Structures are given as C-alpha cells and as structure tokens.
Amino acid sequence: MSEQNTAGRDPVNKTRMTYLEFLDGSPMTKYLWLLVCGMSLAQMLDGMDFMSTSFALPGLIREFHLNPAQAGGIPSMSNLGLMLGTIFITALCDRIGRKVMFQWVVLIYCFGTLISALAPNMYVLLTGRFLAGCGLGAEWPIVFVILAEFSPTKLRHKFIPLGSIFFSAGWFIAALFSLLLIPHFGWRAIYWVGVLPALMVVYLRFGMPESPRLLLAKGKVQEAGVVIHDLARRAGRENIDLVPPPMEKGQGVLSYGRQFSALRVVWAPVLVLTLVSFCQKFQTFGMNAWLPTVFMRQGFRLTTSFWFTLIIMSVTPFGQIFATWLQNALKRNWALFVLATGGTIFFLIFGMSFQYKWPVVVMVGSQTLEMLFSQAVVPIVATLATEVTPTPARTLSMAFVYGIGALGGALGPLLLGFALKAGMGISEIIYLFALPIFVVALALLFVIRVDSRRRSLESISQEYRQRMDKATPAQAGR
C-alpha cells in the first residue's frame, strides 16, 4: 500500500478517474456557471450585432443617399463575411486552439463593428460589415464546441442550446437598444454598443482554459492534466485520483490528414446535418427577410406588417427552449424530424391561408407556429454536430455544417425575390420553400442511428468508428 502511495497511482481512500471521466461526470461548479454565462453572453452580443444593421439601415440610407440595391448590399456583405468566417476561420480552431481562436474572432467582429461605427462612407461601412461578419460567423460554432467539450454528459443537451437561445435573445435586445439610442444619437450608436464585446477578451485571456479534450487530442497530456486538476480543485473533488485516459494510436500530431480521416468516419451524418442547416436557413432567412413585404402585398399597412412580423419572431427563443427538452425526451434525430415535420405543416397552412384568403389570425398564427418549430431545429443540429464528430475534427465539421448553412441563408432571400419578380404567387413560393427541410430531416432518421443522449463524446465517436469498420468489409466485398 505504501508503494502505491509513493507512486501516486492509487492513493488510499481515493477513487481513480480519468480526465475525461471527470469532465463527463463533473458537478456544476462556479467555474462551469461562469463558462456557461460567458458563452451565453457572447452569443447574445453576437445576435445583437447580427441584427444591428436592420435597425441602422434607415439612417444609413438617409446619410449615404443609398438606393435600394446599394442598401441591400450592406446585409449581403455581412452574410458573405458570415459564410467565409464560418468555413475558413472556424476550420483553424482544431489546429490552433479553442481559446486562442475565440479571442481572435471576438476581436475581429468588434473591430469590424468599430469600423462600421466610424465609417465616413459606404465603402468603409461595407468593409466593416464584412469583417464583423467574418468574426460572427466563426464565433457561433466555436461557442457550441466549447460548451459541448466542457459540459457534463447529463447536462450537454441543456448547455449547447443556450448558444442559440441567447443568440435569439440578442435580436430583441438589439431592438430595445435601437429604440432607446438611435432616435437620440443616430444609427452609429447601435454599432458603438457592438464594440463592447471586446471587453470579453480579458475574461477569455485570464479566466478560460483551453479545452482538455483538444489538448489530449494533440497529445498534450501534461497541459490537459493541469486544466483538469484545476477544475477538480474548484469543484472540491480532492477525493479522486485523476489519471490520463488511454491514448489512441497516432494521437499527438493534429495534421489535416488526421482531421479529415476523423471526419471521414462520420461523413454521412455531417453531410445530412449540413443539408438540414442549409434548408433551415434557406427557408427561415428567405421568408423572414420578406415577411413585411409579403404582408404588405396582401394589402396590410406598413406598421401592421411590422407588428405581424414582430409577433412571429417573438417565439424564436421559446422554440429553442422547447427543443432543449425534446432532444433529451426523444432520440435527437427523431426530435429533429418531429420539429421539421411540424414546421413544414404550419408553413403549408401559411401558404394556404394566402391562397384561400383565410382570416388573418390563421395567417399570422400558422407562421408563428412555423417559426416556433423551425427555430427549434437549430439547437438540435448544433448538439448532433458536436456529438457525432471526434474531437480532432469537431470545429472542422461545424465549419461545414454552418458555413454551407450560411450559404442557404444568403440564397433564400435572393431566390424568393427572383420568384416574386417572375410572377409566382406567395402560396406557390411557400410550398416550394416548405418541403426541402422535411426531406432531409427524414433522411437523418436513416443516417444517424446512434442514440447520443447522456453518453460521453468519446463513446459516441467510438460507436461510429465501429459501425464504419463493420460496413467497410461488406462494401468492399460487393
């Protein structure tokens, strides 16, 4: 027994536990609460900045004397930055580190917002919105990955959706600040508020450690041990003997070859989740961008159309809170299918209300319920995307899922506008936009067979690897 004590491998009255087992079974501590609050605040500020241009646009049009095409280029430039930032900057996170990249993307989007606030002309403003979009696009998926890798297994289904819930809450806070500030201080005031997240870098630099899972994937066992022991000390867990987990072959060099090899194992679920993200944003962003116009084409006044749109969008956070519960009550793929189906049904009713001239309460109510269901899809996509992908490629897969998804968000409003110009009726357009997400959600039932609820991230990845190993010989023999 004394030899064991001397070796430090199995002390008396101490339970041995690996670093990953500690993370998966960790109790809620002050540090975890601080992490959750910090990531949620980041997403809320992200949502505020994302919506800021919508409220600044009337003032921008007046000051810079913009025509409608030029004005439309401002949010388009933000969406272009959003897509490129999501794909290219996020993909670097696995190699460089969650903490470092998160600091940089916060600084990038704050710097872009600062340029926007100071912009003397249209061209400088477009540059600022592009940079802000790059930072925002990268920050969104990195938050989900950080929440997934630090969260206890039993709370992961609650931790990850907080990102999208607070992002949606940021939309309403942007509206509130706009009402309070813009009438008195002009459109630049809302961008000055968007510079405040730069203060988060102080917390990120000194209060947030690197992800132990990523450190282990890179073979930095000693650094991971320092983080885990510090987390255990904060949790008051001095009765456990923390040891490194078994290291996999090849672990230690996080090359692009290793990243894509890890991604190859889960290419099918990542592909279908990417399509779900694309279709959800194609449908939601496409219709939401035109909602006031759609109502006005039916003869409603501008202010009435704005109120209808506000009512419809107000349910967004509640849909995502509902998804937090549902994705733990049902298998995640079934929860997503139920929500996609519900959203499709209510979207079709929305289209029928225009075609058959149903009462306005049916029109607004059906689209409100469609928004409730379709926005609830977002946190489940984030949860599944972080769960199915191994640690070495987790943010790389998120870059695909949300980068291509952002492309759907950019194409939706554009194609809807072309459809209106071509003379298609609102109901016909809605029918066309309603079905794609239902089809890909149905495909997800057949592609994702692993029940990831209340399981460690490593055990989920291991099961996918085993399924791939079993499938490969059968396919080779055909």
Q: pLDDT (tens digit, 9 = 90+) per residue, 428-443?
A: 888 888 899 999 999 9
Tell me what pLDDT residue 310 has: 76
**Predicted local confidence at residue 218, as pLDDT:** 85
CATH for 253-478 is 1.20.1250.20
Does the pTM of the predicted model rise above 0.85? no
Q: Looking at residue 469, what is its pLDDT? A: 63
What's the mean pLDDT in 166-194?
A: 82
**How does residue 279 score in pLDDT terms, banded at 50, 70 and 90?**
very high
**CATH domain 11-250 topology:** Growth Hormone; Chain: A; (1.20.1250)
Per-residue HEC secondary structure of the chain comes to: CHHHHHHCCCCCCCEEEEHHHHHHHCCCCHHHHHHHHHHHHHHHHHHHHHHHHHHHHHHHHHHHCCCHHHHHHHHHHHHHHHHHHHHHHHHCHHHHCHHHHHHHHHHHHHHHHHHHHHCCCHHHHHHHHHHHHHHHHHHHHHHHHHHHHHCCHHHHHHHCHHHHHHHHHHHHHHHHHHHHHHHHHCCHHHHHHCCHHHHHHHHHHHHCCCCHHHHHHCCCHHHHHHHHHHHHHHCCCCCEEEECCCCCCCCCCCCHHHHHHHHHHCHHHHHHHHHHHHHHHHHHHHHHCCHHHHHHHCCCCHHHHHHHHHHHHCCHHHHHHHHHHHHHHCCHHHHHHHHHHHHHHHHHHHHHHHHCCCCHHHHHHHHHHHHHHHHHHHHHHHHHHHHHCCHHHHHHHHHHHHHHHHHHHHHHHHHHHHHHHCCCCHHHHHHHHHHHHHHHHHHHHHHCCCCCCCCCHHHHHHHHHHHHHHHHHHHHCC
Q: Which is more confidently placed, 66 or 333?
A: 333
Q: Delimit the CATH 1.20.1250.20 region(s) of the chain.
A: 11-250, 253-478
For the segment 95-114, the average pLDDT, to the nearest whole number, is 88
Listed range (47-61, 137-151, 339-353) with the worst mean pLDDT: 47-61
- In this prediction, residue 65 carries a pLDDT of 86
pLDDT at residue number 3: 36
Over residues 359-380, the mean pLDDT reads: 92
On the question of pLDDT at 336 being above 90, the answer is: yes
Q: Give the pLDDT of residue 239.
A: 79
